[in-house]
Amino acid sequence: MKTIIVNVPDKEEEFFLSLFKKNKLKSRVLTEEDCEELAISKWINEGLQSEDVSVETIYDHFRKHGVNC
């Protein structure tokens, strides 16, 4: 199975959702928070792969900002 992300204008959302349902395709609307979390996870992953950022630095930053990890 593959995932495809489609950006649709707000006024076209219902059309696309009904199209997906008609064709028995699973759909999910991402919230602004979902998009932010995806961006943050991408930055963390890139930092860890480049070894510019340590895991402890990431945990310290989250603890400082009240995120439990």
Q: Which residues of the chain have pLDDT under 70?
A: 68-69
To which residue do tokens 């860890």 refer? Answer: 48
Amino acid in the structure at residue 59: Y
Looking at residue 43, its pLDDT comes to 83
Looking at residue 69, its pLDDT comes to 62
C-beta of residue 59 within 8 angstroms of C-beta of residue 44? no
Looking at residue 1, its pLDDT comes to 82
Looking at residue 35, its pLDDT comes to 87
Q: Tell me the pTM.
A: 0.53
Looking at residue 22, its pLDDT comes to 97
